């Protein structure tokens, strides 16, 4: 005779099966939660030892740069001159300790745009620690200066990092930003003293605003220059990109002695963690670029040129007809040092 299971035994088996399924589902959910939490957690900026790689300073400073002399891609009222012209017009010059890059402040009424300079380093970088000693930042109505890293031939594929950027009088502070292809954003925890403006770094979003961080007023222009400038430091590593600003009077001793250690420094001015951005895949083959654009798509905007700074007339007319306005439109560098992880 075929035996039948008792109702009680069948119920127990069903209950056990349900408990097993529930346990399996719970463990799967827990695993996914943990993995998701790990993926979204703040990156580990563990200490890194850095070794000096390149030095840009003194009389040989500009020997290590190419002079860009093509049309301005941002439609500025500017003529970027070549090396010979820049030297002849004293738009780039050096001393034993400094290098200066300036806008032409003497030629009256240039028809095609005022002469200026854009230089791009011969060396390229994927990562590292960059120490920029800056004595003076450019400012004045119509100016759009920047110190940045990018791969111009492969933009935006290889990314853009704006270390210093401002416009017109620049007294609103320094704007630091990243510009990338899709898939890089700055949501989540950030440890910085600057103010986040945008979170999506994709150049196709928001008119290429990038993911920006605003510094306080003394991080650029007259306020920055008044104290003798200072040091900006940029760190690029897989964990993220960070930017510090040190006024001249409070530059860390380890920078002075050539052994910089970011793990001992205060909270950075800007923090771009890798939480939602694969840094290594978005930033590579980067040149150091310094330039002073005039007007263009940024400085000539009415919200910047007229409303924020009450600059007169149209930007291009002002730039053409007021050469003396550009007496303070110059970068002066005490030097640039680039370190690599050892």
Nearest-angstrom CA–CA distance, 157 and 256: 35
56 strand-pairing partners: 336
| Per annotation, catalytic residue among 57, 120, 165, 235 | 165
Tell me, yes or no, if 160 is annotated catalytic. Answer: yes
The token pair that represents 233 in the structure block: 């430091």
Q: What is the separation of C-alpha 185 from the centre of its chain, rounded to a whole number of angstroms?
A: 14
Residue given tokens 């222009």 in the structure block = 221
Q: Which residues contact 335 (CB under 8 A, 6 or more apart)?
A: 55, 56, 57, 58, 61, 97, 99, 133
What is the distance between the alpha carbons of residues 160 and 152, in angstroms, rounded to a whole number?
A: 9
Residues whose CB falls within 8 Å of the CB of residue 299, separated by 6 or more in sequence, listed in order = 76, 142, 143, 144, 167, 168, 293, 305, 315
Closest CA to 336 of 40, 53, 24: 53
Q: Find the angle CA(136)-CA(140)-CA(145) to the nearest 5 degrees.
A: 60
Say which of 160, 175, 235, 332 is annotated catalytic: 160
Catalytic residue list contains 165: yes
Residues identified as active-site: 160, 165
């Amino acid at each position: 005779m075929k035996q039948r299971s008792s109702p009680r035994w069948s119920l127990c088996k069903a209950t056990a099966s349900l408990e097993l399924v529930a346990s399996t589902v719970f463990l799967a959910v827990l695993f996914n939660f943990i993995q998701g939490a790990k993926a979204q957690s703040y990156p580990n900026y563990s200490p890194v030892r850095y070794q000096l790689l390149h030095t840009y300073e003194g009389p040989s400073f500009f020997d290590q740069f190419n002079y860009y002399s093509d049309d301005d891609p941002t439609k500025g009222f500017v003529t970027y001159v070549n090396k010979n012209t820049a030297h002849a017009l004293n738009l780039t010059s050096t001393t034993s300790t400094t290098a200066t890059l300036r806008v032409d402040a003497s030629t009256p009424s240039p028809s095609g745009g005022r002469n200026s300079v854009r230089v791009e380093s011969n060396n390229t970088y994927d990562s590292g620690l960059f120490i920029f000693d800056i004595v003076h930042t450019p400012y004045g109505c119509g100016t759009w200066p920047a110190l940045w890293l990018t791969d111009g031939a492969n933009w935006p594929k290889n990314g853009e990092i704006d270390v210093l950027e401002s416009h017109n009088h620049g007294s609103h502070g320094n704007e630091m930003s990243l510009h990338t292809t899709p898939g890089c954003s700055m949501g989540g925890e950030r440890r910085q003293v600057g103010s986040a403006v945008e979170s999506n770094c994709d150049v196709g979003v928001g008119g290429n605003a990038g993911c920006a961080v605003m510094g306080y007023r003394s991080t650029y222009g007259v306020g920055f220059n008044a104290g003798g400038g200072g040091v900006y430091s940029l760190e690029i590593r897989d964990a993220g990109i960070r930017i510090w600003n040190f006024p001249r009077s409070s530059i860390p001793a380890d920078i002075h002695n050539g052994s910089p250690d970011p793990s001992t420094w205060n909270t950075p001015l800007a923090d771009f963690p890798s939480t939602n951005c694969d840094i290594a895949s978005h930033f590579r083959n980067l040149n150091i670029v310094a330039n002073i654009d005039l007007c263009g798509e940024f400085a000539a905007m009415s919200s910047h040129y007229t409303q924020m700074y009450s600059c007169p007339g149209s930007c291009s007319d002002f730039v053409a007809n007021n050469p003396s306005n550009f007496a303070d439109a110059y970068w002066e560098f005490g030097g640039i040092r680039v370190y690599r992880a050892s």
